[in-house]
Structure 1
Amino acid sequence: MEVWIGRQGERHGPYQEEQVREWLRSSQLSPDDLCWYDGLADWQPLSVLFPLDKPAPAPNPYAPPPLQQQPASTNHFDYAGFWQRFGAWIIDLIILMIPSMIVMVSSGGMEAYKHMVERIQGGADMAMALRDYAQVTETASLISLAITFLYYTFFEASKWQATPGKLALRLRVTDVHGARISIGRSAARNIVRLSGAIFGLIPLVCYAAIAWTQRKQGLHDLWASTFVLNGTAQQQPPQGRPPGDDQGSFHA
């Protein structure tokens, strides 16, 4: 049986019944979360449709006090490694080359490139030829940068939480709670990528830190407090925001 989960006004799934029961037992899902499956007239709390098999035992008043528990951490997250993320970047780069080439060709960039090569072969000063080429293609370069920024910003804040490159390698972008990031956080994250592209430091700026940071965060992750994790958003139980951020009931 396939089960849909409703949380924070969004629908997640579908998941298999055994997955849902396991997430309930491990407290990854709350009994108060809503769910629906084919045949139900309306959404119902998980506690109604999937009651736990065994009730929690009553506390023993004579038992010693429990050990001090550490606050919930992100140690259980499966962080994506350097080469996984670099591979995703390569895929996205190939995809982005298509609109960039269209912009470049339509703005006369190819003719400017041929003219630059002819000048250099004819003995003209290389630095001056490159400068003139950069001036001619400046508008096309700025448009390509804007396309790249919007591409990453909107895809990583989408329900997929990933660009096509990350989806291909089964990765997703989250906040520090493992939840989907907002459009504002995604934009802040990609300001660093945009800045690096302007100064020609991609992939150095964004990716070099992944190899030595504890949670495999690049500079753009550290700036925006984000993680890149293994597993697509559709494979995960819906992640809630911190307590007190509930915005009401779910509407299908």
Structure 2
Amino acid sequence: MDHHMNVGFWRRFGANLLDAIIIGVPLAIISFVIFGNGDNAFTNVVSFLYSLLIPVFWGGYTIGKKICGIQIRRLDGTPPGIGTMLLRNVVGGLIYGITFGVAVIVSAFMVGLRQDKRAIHDFIAGTVVVHDGSE
């Protein structure tokens, strides 16, 4: 893929922040109303399914990524499938978890400093985050 289309740290961070606000806040409120607290398995499962499935059904977008004009793509330029997203989110998440977040910091530097702007989870899944051409 053309590396000048790859998205750097701040735009990716902004998209994730928008997703957290747009999805996380309403989920926490719903969870609080239904379960009496905003931090439980319901919220975690729905958030996980959102980040896993929405990019599969919506061509590499989440709501935050769509607003920011960016999308997840496989290295051949095609949208991610369920297998790709499982590798990206589950295996990537496991790596981040077992390193107690150290790999998250490494990934942030990778996105900020590498020419191809790819994080650890991108390498695991064979993905890249690119500008969608909407701007």
Instruction: Mark yes or no: TM-score above 0.5.
Output: yes
- The number of residues matched between the two structures is 131
Matched, 1:160 2:43: no
- Given the alignment, which residue of 125, 130, 134 partners 1:229? 130
Contact 1:79 1:229 in 2 (8 A): yes
Q: Which residue matches 1:85?
A: 12
Q: Are the structure 2 counterparts of residues 164 and 219 from structure 1 closer, same or farther at C-alpha, using a change threshold of 3 Å?
A: same
- Given the alignment, which residue of 89, 102, 125 partners 2:30? 102
> Aligned Cα RMSD in Å?
2.8
String of CA shifts for 1:104-125, please: whole Å, max 9, x gaps.
Answer: 4422227xxxxxxxxxxxxxxx
Question: In the TM superposition, what is the alpha-carbon distance from 1:207 to its structure 2 partner?
Answer: 3.4
Question: In the TM superposition, what is the alpha-carbon distance from 1:102 to its structure 2 partner?
Answer: 1.7
String of CA shifts for 1:73-113, please: whole Å, max 9, x gaps.
Answer: x2456101111101101100101221133214422227xxx
TM-score (norm 2): 0.79
Contact 1:171 1:231 in 2 (8 A): yes
Contact 2:88 2:121 in 1 (8 A): yes
Contact 1:173 1:226 in 2 (8 A): yes
Matched, 1:214 2:115: yes
State the secondary structure of the residue aligned to 2:72: strand
Question: In the TM superposition, what is the alpha-carbon distance from 1:229 to its structure 2 partner?
Answer: 0.3
Q: Are the structure 2 counterparts of residues 87 and 75 from structure 1 closer, same or farther at C-alpha, using a change threshold of 3 Å?
A: same
Higher helix fraction: Structure 1 or Structure 2? 2
State the secondary structure of the residue aligned to 2:57: coil
String of CA shifts for 1:124-183, please: whole Å, max 9, x gaps.
Answer: xxxxxxxxxxxxx6xx1x322211211111111124321000000111111010111111
Take 2:128 and 2:74, find their aligned partners in 1: how far apart are those partners?
Answer: 6
User: Which consecutive residues of structure 1, in runs of 5 or more, have no partner in the other structure?
Assistant: 1-73, 111-136, 236-252
Give aligned-pair identity as a percent.
27
Q: Are the structure 2 counterparts of residues 174 and 149 from structure 1 closer, same or farther at C-alpha, using a change threshold of 3 Å?
A: same
Instruction: Indicate the structure whose relative CO is greater, using CA pairs within 8 Å and at least 6 residues apart.
Output: 2
Q: Which has the larger radius of gyration?
A: 1
